[in-house]
Structure 1
């Protein structure tokens, strides 16, 4: 059975959600952030040199990095579900959007979060450039979700599992006003209606009301 090491309020919610969507059995090991630094506890650092979550144990295999874990679970345990194959018309779109979160969306939000902690003036050129980049990234997502119900196209896929954290829980760390993005807000309402998402959030982060608006 898979063992998921889950750090509260982190990208590891993706893995819990994936297993719920695929109906896979798993053991969930909760880890709590340091109250002061908000970083990972020593228990995670003892398991992996970077001390980050998610981590998944599968027998003797220990795997980190959420995108790698998602791919691993889908291929090895999920029968290829939630990942369109090369023959599918949405295959190229899936590849783009499944990598978009960790390639564009999450990094720019994270950089802006750390920059804001420096209390730089609003007109600081680096801060302004990062905000401009985030605006472009959010506009791209908004446009896409005005064209199709899910990021890869007409079907829910792992691309959505990879991206939703950045649009929801990550806003605990870097607030983003979703008022200008009606398509994103409608998309998040669709996500919130998925039973597997509700189960995953209740199990992984029972203290958190999912930020779906």
Structure 2
């Protein structure tokens, strides 16, 4: 059985959806973020040295990093729908979006989140003013532009498409679901009808609904 070490409000929710897509047996072990630092608890470091979710344990192995976990699970199950064979033309497209999610999409979003949190917590007033100006400048000159570029690219790609690659969900969708879900929750998909429609379609996907329900139940049971 696969065991997912899950941290609330983290990338690990993708793995639960993957489990549901594959219809495999799994268990969720829930960990809570530190109330002060918002970081993962020390217990995760006992599972894997990186100490960050998601972490998968299976067959006496501990595997970290979402992309590596996804590919490991798919190979263990022997599924070529979610990750087509290298002989299939769709293979490189699935791999591209899987890596784009973490390599190009997530870094500027995380940087934006951290910078804006810093701006909110800065004090006293004159320090807050200076930091706010600095953060706004950095966002305008770099991170904001990168986020806009990425979203424009995604919006164009999703024109006329239900899923990122092909007619059914693949690892591309598993990986891209998390950042787009986060942006949707924060109301940042306005003016991006294709991307917004994609996330709404995601919400109507039975396997995704099951995954989110089981995740919330596991988190509730652990609280």
Specify if TM > 0.5: yes
More helix by share: 2
2:179 is matched with which residue?
Answer: 166
Q: Which runs of no fewer than 5 residues in structure 1 stay unpaired?
A: 209-213
Q: Return closer, same or farther for 1:122/1:78 CA change in 2, 3 Å cut-off.
A: farther
Q: Which runs of no fewer than 5 residues in structure 2 stay unpaired?
A: 120-131
1:178 is matched with which residue?
Answer: 189
Does the aligned pair in 1 maintain the 2:55–2:64 contact within 8 Å? yes
- The secondary structure found in structure 1 opposite 2:159 is helix
Deviation >6 Å, runs of 4+: none
1:1-213 mapped onto 2 (5 Å cutoff): 1-119=1-119, 120-121=132-133, 124-128=136-140, 129-169=142-182, 175=186, 177-206=188-217
Deviations 1:133-171 (A, max 9, x none): 100001111111114221123332110000111111467
Q: Within 1, Cα distance between the matches of 2:133 and 2:146? A: 17
Mean CA deviation greater in 62-71 or 177-186: 177-186
Q: Which protein is bigger by CA-based radius of gyration?
A: 2
Mean CA deviation greater in 11-20 or 153-162: 153-162
* TM-aligned CA deviation for residue 104 of structure 1: 0.8
Q: Within 2, Cα distance between the matches of 1:153 and 1:79? A: 15
Q: Return closer, same or farther for 1:171/1:107 CA change in 2, 3 Å cut-off.
A: farther
Q: TM-score, normalised by structure 2?
A: 0.85
